[in-house]
Structure 1
Amino acid sequence: MLRVALVVLTLSLTLVLLPIAINVGTGGTAPDFLAPYVGWTWPAIGVLWLVAIVTGLWELRSRRLGVTLTARSADQPRNRPNALARVDRYYAERVAGSLAARTRLALAVEESPEAVVRPYDLLVQPLHGEVHEVRQNADIAEVFDDLQDSMLILGAPGAGKTTLLLELARALAATAHQQADQPIPLLLDLSGWNGPIATRREDDDPGDSPLLAGFVRWLLDDLHSRYQIPPPVGRVWLRNGSLALLLDGVDEIAPAHRVKLTPVLEELQQRYLVGQLAVTCRIHDYELLPQPLKLYGAVRIRPLSRAQVLDYFASAGRELAGARAAIEQDDELWDLITSPLMLNVMALAYQGRDADEIAAGAVADHRRDLFDTYLSEVLARPRPASRQYDSRTAVRSLWCLAWWTRTRAGDRTAVPRWLTPNGWYGLPLPAVGYLAHMVCLPALFAGLVGGAALAVAALYGVLAGVAVGAMSLLLVHIRPRPWRVFRDGSGQPRLLVAVAMVATGAVAGFGWALAGALVFAALPGWLALAVLGATVAASYGVELILSEGHRRRLLLGLRLLVVVVGSWLVLTLFDHPSTFLACAAVGMIVAQGIRLVKALPMDHLVHQVNDEPRARDRMDLWVVGGLAAAVLVALALGADPVGSRVEAVLGIVAGVVTAKAWRRRPPLFAGPISRLMHGLLLRWTGYLPWRRRAFLRYAADRYVLTRTGRDEYAFIHLLVRDHLAECHPDTLAAKVERRIASRRRPR
C-alpha cells in the first residue's frame, strides 16, 4: 500500500511540474514563487520519474512473487523427496555436531501417564478400550508407536531428551522414505517461539487465534530457514497431515510464553491435521506449567546406572583410563555422572589422560570443576583444520555469548547474530567501561568540537571557530554529565580507540558543520529564516506542551524571547544576515551533536560504580585539546586569525542557546551508534571475535557449540552455556593456559 501511495504521489507531482517545464522551455514563464527554481524543474521531473519506475517495478515484482509462491502446488513430485533429503542432511549434521555422537548409550525410559491429559475427544480408542503399555526395552520409535504417535519426553538436564528426539526423527524419516503416506518428521527448537503476534498478515489463516497464528507463522518460518521448505508449501502440508512435529525444549521458551504452549498446541491439533507430535521438556520446568499438555502419553528418561557407566569406560579401553580412575577415586563423581551429558563431559575432560596423573590429585570433584576441566581440555587441544585463538580471547568470547544468550528474550540457546543493548545490562566489564567512559566519550567530544570548529574557522575566521569551541565546552561542562570515572585502564588499547573515536567525531563534526553552513548560506535569506524559525517554533512548542510546572515554561518563554529579540536586532543592524543564519544553523547542529554523545546509552557494560567521590574526569581538557588542534590546523591552512565577522560569532551563540532547550526529544541514532561502539569495544578487548563465523566454527570443532543450521549455532547444552555465563572468564582462561602448557611439557 505504501509503494502504491508513493507511485501516485510522484506521478501527481510530475503532472504538476511537467506543464510548467514545457511552458518555460517554449518561451513562457513560470509562476512567481517557482521562478527562482526553474533550472531545477527538469532534474526534479527526472528524479520523480525514476522513483516512480523503481517503486512500480518493486510493487510488480512483489505481487508476482507472492502469486508464484502462493500458487505453487505442494504436491509437485519432487517436493517430498527434496524435503526428505534436506531433513536427512540436517539430522546427520545435528548428530555429528553433538556430544551424543561420541557416546552411544541405550537410554531407558519409563512410562509416566499422569504427566499428560489424554485428548479422548480427538482419538479413536483401541478395540475393547484397551490401552497398550509401553514395551520394555523398546527403542524410542517403538515407544512412540505404543503411545499412538503422541508423546511427551521428560528428563533431567542433560538426560538425553534431544538425543532421543533425534533418534525418533531419524527413524520416522526412514519410514517416510519407504512409505509415501507417512508424514515428514521435522524437529524444531521451541526456544525460538516468542508467543502471540501483534498484527496479522495476509497469509495468516483468518480462523486462527492470534496465539495460534503467531505459532504457525514461527513454525513455517523455521521450516523455511532450517529445511528450506517454502511457507506456502509448509502450510499446505500442515493442513493435510503431511508433517510430523517434533518440538524440542519446552523449558527453553521464555517464561512469559511458556504457559501459553498448552492452549496453542491444543488449538493446533483442532485446527490442523497433526498426526504425529512429540514434545520434550525438563521435569522441573514441566511441573511448573499451570496446565499439562494434551498428549496420549509421556515417558521419563531414567538416570544412567553405574553398570552403564563402567561398561562405557571399559569399552573405550586406555583412552578413558584417566576418567575411570577419577570416578573410582572420588565417590562424589558418581552422583554427577547420571546423565549422558555429564558422561560426555567427563569423557572429553579426561580423554587420553593417564590414570597415574589423575590418582596424583588432578581430580574434578564438583560439577563446576568438572565443567572447568572439560572446557580447559577441549580448548587446549589443537585442531590443525581450524583457526586458533588465544585462551583469553576464546574464553571471553564464549563467556560473553553465553551471558547474552541466557539473558536475551526469545531464543535463549542460539548464538545471536546482532547486538542489542538490553542484552548487556549487568555485564561486569570494567575494562570495557574504562574505554567507554574514559576514552570513547572524551575522544568523540574532542573530535566533534574540533571538526566543527575547523569547518567554521575555515569559512568565517578563527574567532568564529573559537566561538564554536567555547560554546561546546559550556555544553559539555554543564549537566547532565552521565559518564563515570575509572582508574585502571592498563592493558587496554587506549591509543587505538582514542584515535578511532577522534577521527570519527572529527569527520562527523566537520562534515555536518560544513554542510549546514554551506546549505543555509546558499538559500535565499527569507527561506533560511523560515526553515530555522519553523524548527525553533516546533521544538519549543513541544517543550512548552510537555513541560511540567510554570517555572520551566517561564524559563523556556524567556529564552525564546531573548533569542527572537537578539536575532531581530542582528538581522536589522548588521550587513550580513546570511552569515548569521548559517552560523545559527551550525550552532544548532553542534549543540545537537554534543547532546547526542551525552545521550549515548553508555551503561550497558558498566557493573561497578566508582566509589571514589573526589575522582575527576578530564572531559573539559579533551574538548580544549580538540579546539586547540582545530585552531592550529585552521591557521596552517591560512584562515583569518582576527578578521571574523561579528555576525558569525553571534550566530553560533544564538544557535547553541536556542538548541539547549531540546531535551525531551530523544536523540536520533543514539541507540544504533551506542550498539556499534559497544560492539567495537567488545572486540577490541577480546570479549567478542572479529570474525564471527570463523570463531563459531572454532568453538563447534571443540564441542562447545553445535551447528543447528546454515550459519546457525547453539551451545552444545544449556548446562555448558550456564556454566560459561557464570564463570570468571580470565580465571578459566588461566586454567586453559596451564593445560596447554602441561600438554607441551615432555612426559
Structure 2
Amino acid sequence: MTSQIKMLYRNRQTLVAKVKNYWVKGVLKKSLYNQVLIELGLEERTDAITNPLSEILEVGDDLRQPLPERTKVIDIFDKIGTVITLLILGDPGSGKTTTLLELTRDLIVRNEKYRNQLIPVVFNLSSWKNKKQTIADWLVEELGNKYDIPKKIGQAWVSQQQLLPLLDGLDEVKAKYRDHCILALNQFQQDYDANLVVCSRIKDYQALSNRLNFQKAVYIRLLSLEQIYHYLDSLGNDLIGLRKLIAEDTVLQELAQSPLMLNIMTLAYQGVAVEDLPKTKAVEERRKQLFDAYIEKMFKRRKTNQQYNDAQVKHWLIWMAQRMVEESQTVFLIEKMQPYLLRNRKQKQIYGLMVGLMFGLMVGLMVGLIIGPMAMLMLGLMFGLMFGLMLGLMGGSKEEIKTVEILQVNWKKILINLLMVGLMGGLMGGLMEGLTEGLMRGLMFGLVVGLIRGLMVGLESSEIETKTSPNQGIWKSARNAITVWLMYGLIGGLMFGLMAGLTEGLTESLMAALMGGLMFGLVGGLMFGLIFGLRNGGIACIQHFSLRLVLYRNNYIPWNYARFLDYAADRIFLQKVGGGYIFIHRMLMEHFAEMKSEN
C-alpha cells in the first residue's frame, strides 16, 4: 500500500470515527428514546416526493402504504438501488433524528468492514442560511467547521461522490429559505447523481410549495394505544395513575402517541395519583403542563449538590433557548457566542468600548516601554487608551469572534520573503549609498523587513468546531496568542537587534553597538510580537472575555458557564456532546424559549 493510499484510508477512517463518536456515542446512545423500547412503525409516503419516473410508473390511489412490522430504515435503504435518495418524515417527537442516527450507526458498521462503502456523515441543515450557496459548497464548509476536514480534501470527497450526506432538520432551516433549500438539494442531486437522506417534520414539509425529487419517502407512524398501554404496564405500579388518566383523557392519548412525550410522561408523573394529575382539553396546554411537570420533577430528582436555585436555572436556560431558536442553532458552544447576543444599543456600546480599551491599553503599554522614561510610558498609555476608545466607538461590537486553535508555521514562505526582500533591500541600498556600506545597510534593512513580512504571511491558522471540552477554542486561542507573542517577539527582536548592532558597528564600537541593538531589538520585537499574538488568538480572547462580562452583568449567563451547563445536563435538560451542549429534544428547547422568566 503506497503512502498516498494509506493517507486517503486514514482520512476516511478519521472522519468515520468522528461521526461515530459525535452522533452515535454522543447523541444516540444517550437519547431519551433509548428509554422507550418500542418498535416504531413505518409507512411509505409516495405523495411526499416528486418521482422522476412518475410518467411511466403507475401509483395506486393509496398514497400511504404501511410497511411490514419490524421493518428498519436500513432495509428500505438497501432496496432503493444504486443511487439512493430517501426522505424520512415524522411528527414532532416521533423519533426522526433517532431513526436517522440508527441508520448512521448501521452504515458505519458496514463502513468499518468494507472500504468501498460511502462515508456516512451527519449534517444539520439549520446552518444552510444563504439561498445563493450551493449544497456542494455548503457541505465542504460544514466538513471544515464540524469535522475539521481541510477544504481541499472536502472538495475532493464531494466532487468524487465519496460521501453519503445524512441531512437532519430540513424543518429547522429558516422558513423563508426552506423552498430554496429543496431546490438546492434537487439541483445538487441532479448535478452529482448523489446519494442523499433528508429528515423533516411532516407538517413543515407539506406546507412547502416544492418537493424533493427522491426515490423513497417514509413516515414514522405514531404509537398505537395498545403499544402505549403495553409499555406502561411493563414499567410497574408507579404509573397506574398515568395509565388510568390516559384511558379517559383523549388529549393525553394524543400526546402519548409520541415516543418522546410518552417518556416525558413516565418521568414527570411517576408515582403521582390520578386525582393529582392536571386535567385539560387543550393539546397545547396539556403539552405545556407536561413539560413544566418534567422540569419540576428533574429539579426534585437532583436535590443533592444544588449549586443554583431553580428559578435562576430556568432563567438562564430560557435565555439560551431563545437565542438558539432565533439563530436556528442545534449545538451550543460557549466559544461560539457572538456579539449579536447583546440585545440593545447600550450593551453593544459597552462591549465595544471594553474591547477597544483593553486592546489600546496593551498597545499603549508596549509603546510606552519602547520609548523609555516614565513620562513616555504614561504618554504611551494615554495614546493607547484614546486609540482603543476610538476603535470601540467606531464599531468594535460588530466584529465576529473567531477563535484560532491550530497554528502552522510555513517556514518556506518566511524564508522566501526573507531572502527576496533582503536581497532587494541590499541591492537598492548599494546603488543609492555606495557599494560597500550602502549594500550592508540595505541588506540588513531588507532582511528585517523580509522577516516581518515573512512572519505575517507564514503563520497560518484554522478554526475547528468539533470540541472535546467546553470553551476549548478560547483556551487554545489564548495559548496560541502567548506562544506567538513570545516566539515572534524574541526571534524578530534578536534578529533585528543583531542586524542593527552590526550595521552601527561599521562606524562605531562593535560591542557597544551590538548591546544597544539587541536591547532595542528585544523591546521592539516584543511589541511586534504582541501585534502578531493579538492577530492570532489574542483579539478573540479579549472579545470573548468582554462579551462574557457584559452578558454576566446583565444576568443572561452565570460567570462559570461550563459548570452551569454541566449542572443543567445532570438534570437532564441538556445533553453534553463533545465540547458543546444540546437540549435533550428540540421540543424542550422550544418550550423553554416560550417560557417567561420568573426573575
Pick the aligned partner of 2:33 from 100, 105, 113: 100
Pick the aligned partner of 2:178 from 248, 258, 274: 258
Q: Which residue of 2 aligns with 1:299?
A: 218
| 1:359 and 2:294 are equivalent in the alignment | no
Q: State the alpha-carbon separation in 1 of the partners of residues 360 and 106 from structure 2.
A: 63
Q: Which residue of 1 aligns with 2:121?
A: 186
Residues 700 and 706 in structure 1, CA contact (< 8 A), matched pair in contact too: yes
| 1:145 and 2:67 are equivalent in the alignment | no
Query: What whole-Å deviation, never above 9, does each CA across 1:640-681 have from its counterpart, x for those lacking one?
Result: xxxxxxxxxxxxxxxxxxxxxxxxxxxxxx999998556324
Q: Which residue of 1 aligns with 2:483?
A: none
Pick the aligned partner of 2:163 from 196, 221, 243: 243
Q: Which residue of 2 aligns with 1:721?
A: 589
| Partner SS for 1:280 | strand
Pick the aligned partner of 1:689 from 531, 544, 558: 558
Residues 356 and 396 in structure 2, CA contact (< 8 A), matched pair in contact too: no
| Partner SS for 1:290 | coil
| 1:289 and 2:208 are equivalent in the alignment | yes
- Distance verdict in 2 for CA 1:400–1:260, change over 3 Å: same
Q: Which amino acid aligns with 1:193?
A: W
Q: Which residue of 1 aligns with 2:134?
A: 211
Pick the aligned partner of 2:295 from 366, 375, 379: 375
Alpha-carbon shift at residue 136 of structure 1 (Å): 2.2
| Partner SS for 2:592 | helix
Alpha-carbon shift at residue 292 of structure 1 (Å): 0.9
Residues 262 and 294 in structure 1, CA contact (< 8 A), matched pair in contact too: no
Alpha-carbon shift at residue 188 of structure 1 (Å): 1.7
Query: What whole-Å deviation, never above 9, does each CA across 1:578-616 have from its counterpart, x for those lacking one?
Result: 99xx99x979976994996799979xxxxxxxxxxxxxx
Residues 358 and 388 in structure 2, CA contact (< 8 A), matched pair in contact too: no
- Distance verdict in 2 for CA 1:399–1:86, change over 3 Å: same
Q: Which residue of 2 aligns with 1:327?
A: 246
Q: State the alpha-carbon separation in 1 of the partners of residues 397 and 261 from structure 2.
A: 41
Q: State the alpha-carbon separation in 2 of the partners of residues 211 and 729 from structure 1.
A: 40
- Distance verdict in 2 for CA 1:308–1:424, change over 3 Å: farther
| 1:89 and 2:12 are equivalent in the alignment | no
Q: State the alpha-carbon separation in 1 of the partners of residues 332 and 141 from structure 2.
A: 18
Q: Which amino acid aligns with 2:44?
A: E
Q: Which residue of 2 aligns with 1:220?
A: 143
- 1:10-409 maps to which residues of 2 (within 5 A)? 73=5, 76-90=8-22, 91-120=24-53, 135-137=67-69, 138-148=71-81, 149-195=84-130, 211-222=134-145, 224-225=147-148, 231-272=151-192, 274=194, 276-328=195-247, 330-351=249-270, 353-355=271-273, 358-361=274-277, 366-382=286-302, 388-408=307-327
- 1:289-688 maps to which residues of 2 (within 5 A)? 289-328=208-247, 330-351=249-270, 353-355=271-273, 358-361=274-277, 366-382=286-302, 388-408=307-327, 411-417=328-334, 418-425=336-343, 593=389, 679-684=548-553, 686-688=555-557
Runs of 4+ in 1 over 6 A off after TM superposition: 131-134, 504-522, 585-592, 597-602, 670-675
- Distance verdict in 2 for CA 1:514–1:277, change over 3 Å: closer
Q: State the alpha-carbon separation in 2 of the partners of residues 509 and 269 from structure 1.
A: 51
Q: State the alpha-carbon separation in 2 of the partners of residues 671 and 177 from structure 1.
A: 39
Q: State the alpha-carbon separation in 1 of the partners of residues 7 and 131 from structure 2.
A: 30
| Partner SS for 2:235 | helix
Q: Which residue of 2 aligns with 1:703?
A: 572
Q: State the alpha-carbon separation in 2 of the partners of residues 329 and 156 from structure 1.
A: 23
Q: Which amino acid aligns with 2:75?
A: E
Q: State the alpha-carbon separation in 2 of the partners of residues 212 and 190 from structure 1.
A: 10
Q: State the alpha-carbon separation in 1 of the partners of residues 146 and 386 from structure 2.
A: 50
Alpha-carbon shift at residue 372 of structure 1 (Å): 0.8
Name stretches of at least 5 consecutive residues in structure 2 with no aligned partner. 399-538
Alpha-carbon shift at residue 514 of structure 1 (Å): 9.8
Q: State the alpha-carbon separation in 2 of the partners of residues 518 and 232 from structure 1.
A: 44
| Partner SS for 1:366 | helix
Query: What whole-Å deviation, never above 9, does each CA across 1:450-509 have from its counterpart, x for those lacking one?
Result: xxxxxxxxxxxxxxxxxxxxxxxxxxxxxxxxxxxxxxxxxxxxxxxxxxx9xx999999
- Distance verdict in 2 for CA 1:103–1:238, change over 3 Å: same
| Partner SS for 2:581 | strand
- Distance verdict in 2 for CA 1:374–1:268, change over 3 Å: same
- Distance verdict in 2 for CA 1:73–1:319, change over 3 Å: farther
Residues 239 and 273 in structure 1, CA contact (< 8 A), matched pair in contact too: no
Name stretches of at least 5 consecutive residues in structure 1 with no aligned partner. 1-70, 198-209, 428-432, 449-500, 523-577, 603-669, 732-747
Q: Which amino acid aligns with 1:110?
A: E
Alpha-carbon shift at residue 73 of structure 1 (Å): 4.5
Query: What whole-Å deviation, never above 9, does each CA across 1:185-233 have from its counterpart, x for those lacking one?
Result: 2222112233367xxxxxxxxxxxx5245323224225624xxx55544
Residues 125 and 167 in structure 2, CA contact (< 8 A), matched pair in contact too: yes
Alpha-carbon shift at residue 283 of structure 1 (Å): 1.8
Residues 332 and 366 in structure 1, CA contact (< 8 A), matched pair in contact too: yes
Alpha-carbon shift at residue 314 of structure 1 (Å): 0.9
- Distance verdict in 2 for CA 1:238–1:282, change over 3 Å: same
Q: Which has the higher contact order (CA 8 A, sep 6+)?
A: 1
Q: State the alpha-carbon separation in 2 of the partners of residues 704 and 378 from structure 1.
A: 8
Q: State the alpha-carbon separation in 2 of the partners of residues 144 and 714 from structure 1.
A: 28
Q: State the alpha-carbon separation in 1 of the partners of residues 119 and 170 from structure 2.
A: 22
- Distance verdict in 2 for CA 1:116–1:326, change over 3 Å: same
Q: Which amino acid aligns with 1:191?
A: S
| Partner SS for 1:703 | coil
Query: What whole-Å deviation, never above 9, does each CA across 1:697-739 have from its counterpart, x for those lacking one?
Result: 332333322334x2122222222111111212327xxxxxxxx
Residues 325 and 359 in structure 1, CA contact (< 8 A), matched pair in contact too: no
Could you tell which deviates more after superposition, 588-597 or 93-102?
588-597
Residues 223 and 258 in structure 2, CA contact (< 8 A), matched pair in contact too: yes
Q: State the alpha-carbon separation in 2 of the partners of residues 187 and 251 from structure 1.
A: 16
Q: Which residue of 2 aligns with 1:539?
A: none
Residues 191 and 253 in structure 1, CA contact (< 8 A), matched pair in contact too: yes
Residues 268 and 297 in structure 2, CA contact (< 8 A), matched pair in contact too: yes
Q: Which residue of 2 aligns with 1:531?
A: none
Q: State the alpha-carbon separation in 2 of the partners of residues 233 and 595 from structure 1.
A: 39
Q: Which amino acid aligns with 2:595?
A: C
Q: Which amino acid aligns with 1:286?
A: Y
- Distance verdict in 2 for CA 1:182–1:678, change over 3 Å: closer
TM-score (norm 1): 0.50
Query: What whole-Å deviation, never above 9, does each CA across 1:65-87 have from its counterpart, x for those lacking one?
Result: xxxxxx95477454545544444
Could you tell which deviates more after superposition, 680-689 or 717-726?
680-689
Alpha-carbon shift at residue 248 of structure 1 (Å): 0.5
Residues 318 and 595 in structure 2, CA contact (< 8 A), matched pair in contact too: yes
Question: Which entry has the higher C-alpha Rg, 1 or 2?
Answer: 1
| Partner SS for 1:402 | helix
Residues 195 and 260 in structure 1, CA contact (< 8 A), matched pair in contact too: no
Residues 393 and 687 in structure 1, CA contact (< 8 A), matched pair in contact too: no
Q: Which amino acid aligns with 1:278?
A: V
Residues 191 and 252 in structure 1, CA contact (< 8 A), matched pair in contact too: yes
Q: Which amino acid aligns with 2:224?
A: S
Q: State the alpha-carbon separation in 2 of the partners of residues 727 and 133 from structure 1.
A: 39
Q: State the alpha-carbon separation in 1 of the partners of residues 28 and 586 from structure 2.
A: 17
Q: State the alpha-carbon separation in 2 of the partners of residues 681 and 367 from structure 1.
A: 35
